[in-house]
Amino acid sequence: MMKWSTSLRMMLCTVLATSMIAVGLGTDRVEVAEAASDHYKFDFGAGAVTNGYTGVSASTAYTAARGYGFNTPANMKNVSASGSGVASDAVQFLKFGTKSDNTFNVDLPNGLYEVKVTLGNTARASVAAEGVYQIMNMTGNGATDQFQIPVTDGQLNLLVTEGKAGTAFTLSALEIRKLSNQPVTNRTIYIGGDSTVCNYYPLASSVQGGWGQLLPSYVNNTTFQVRNMATSGQIARGFRDDGQMEAILKYIKPGDYFILQLGINDTNAKNNTTEAQFKEIMRDMVRLAKNKGATVILSTPQGRATDFNSSNVHQAENRWYNASTRALAQEEGVTLVDLNKLSSAYFTSIGPAATLALYMNGDSLHPNRQGASQLARIVAADLKRQGLNGF
């Protein structure tokens, strides 16, 4: 199937002085020539193309003349999806991994871009670009999210990759918008953590929440963007060694914050991590981020909803290797948000019943959306109290 090149699309727009020109290419696929070279919209799959988008099927190979396409289309597959519009079909990545060459490539002028992804049908999948993770563990059919990325080599290379083994890794739509000619991310708050911190989808309406997901509500968004790299079940060793810390270190810079909260899963015997090992792995990540010029913040995890004594005082200081996190913050001279103690004080003030209502039903560990919002509020308030700006 013939595709119009990016340069031809732009030439047509200039000559005709229109904001958008749709050019029919058969009965089921439509190419769109867009007026603005800083805004690109792709609709993936074999079905009809949504108005305003450029259609891309699994067989669309990248060529320099076209300016976009799959690097190895033999490793792609057209699949259906259960959404509507751009989410009614998708492509599936049959080969994946952050270092995979099975990417969707788009030629772009160097600069800073905002990339919005819409997945197809998938249980859990992550998004990678430029060889590192960008979004962790998007869940549910038709999930959407976005991220900032600097392009420095004239091309974006993106794929959907493993979030959970055995599930399909699919992509329904991609929207790319240029933010700046300077290929540098805005000031960023990077977050590392586990299931009490991570994102749940849909981001705006999920029943369960992690406090990292809700933190943007308490951040000055003209100053900072928030990049939550936390994932369910994560331990310190896994965060450092399995790609999440790598992604942060690729982009983190002076003026950025790195908030790290782990320990809950590290204390589980199956993860074979002693408290001494946990502390040294955390120390390694603290120093790596400090060496990039970032402000590092350690946080202790909140306790369980049921950690009340007979006097209805909530207390969980000795959980989750908290003592080592507190000691490490002092030893390395970094900011500590003692969320464990701060949340216990809050839970004590509202009482056991109201505290339980901030957690998932039948689950004393994981906060619901309301609980995550309260934890995010506490984190932001404590950082503001300690003199950090942006909250």
Q: Which of 195, 343, 344, 373 is catalytic?
A: 195
pTM: 0.90
For residue 10, give the CATH number of its domain: 2.60.120.430
Positive or negative, the CA dihedral 301, 285, 127, 94 is negative
Residues 383, 191: Cα–Cα separation, whole Å: 14
Q: Which of 126, 145, 307, 366 is catalytic?
A: 366
- Segment 119-149, tens digit of pLDDT: 999 999 999 999 999 999 999 999 999 999 9
pLDDT given at position 37: 72
The answer as to whether 390 is a domain residue is no
Spatial contact of 129 and 115, defined as CB atoms under 8 Å apart:
yes
The answer as to whether 164 is a domain residue is yes
Distances in whole angstroms, Cα of residue 146 to Cα of each of 85, 136, 163, 192? 19, 11, 16, 18
Q: Angle at the Cα of 80 (from 37 to 130), degrees rounded to 5? A: 45
Spatial contact of 215 and 182, defined as CB atoms under 8 Å apart:
no
Residues 235, 218: Cα–Cα separation, whole Å: 26
Q: Which amino acid is at 154?
A: G
The answer as to whether 55 is a domain residue is yes
The strand pair at 132-139 and 104-107 is best described as unpaired
For residue 209, give the CATH number of its domain: 3.40.50.1110
pLDDT given at position 32: 40
**Catalytic annotation present for 366:** yes
The whole domain housing 25 covers 6-180
- Segment 93-111, tens digit of pLDDT: 999 999 999 999 999 999 9
45-69 burial string, b = 16+ CB within 10 Å, else e?
bbbebbeebbbbbbebebeeebbbb
Return all residues near 46 (Cβ < 8 A) that are at least 6 apart. 28, 57, 58, 78, 89
Residues 367, 357: Cα–Cα separation, whole Å: 9
pLDDT given at position 21: 31
Q: Single out the residue in 151, 180, 209 at which a domain terminates.
A: 180
pLDDT given at position 4: 43
Query: By 3-state DSSP, what share of the chain in percent is helix, strand and coil, each rounded to 5?
Result: 25, 30, 45
pLDDT given at position 166: 79
User: 58 with 114, same domain?
Assistant: yes
Count of domains forming the chain: 2
pLDDT given at position 16: 33
Smallest CA-to-CA distance from 10 within 102, 98, 108, 119 is with: 108
User: Residue 39, exposed/middle/buried by CB under 10 A (0-12, 13-18, 19+)?
Assistant: middle
pLDDT given at position 167: 87
CA atoms within 13 A of residue 353's CA, in its CB half-sphere: 0
pLDDT given at position 33: 36
Using 50 as the pLDDT threshold, list the residues of the chain that sit under it: 1-35
**Catalytic annotation present for 314:** no
Q: Single out the residue in 180, 196, 211 at which a domain terminates.
A: 180
Q: Which of 7, 153, 363, 364 is catalytic?
A: 363
Q: Single out the residue in 124, 155, 180 at which a domain terminates.
A: 180
User: 176 with 200, same domain?
Assistant: no
User: Residue 10, exposed/middle/buried by CB under 10 A (0-12, 13-18, 19+)?
Assistant: middle
**Catalytic annotation present for 363:** yes
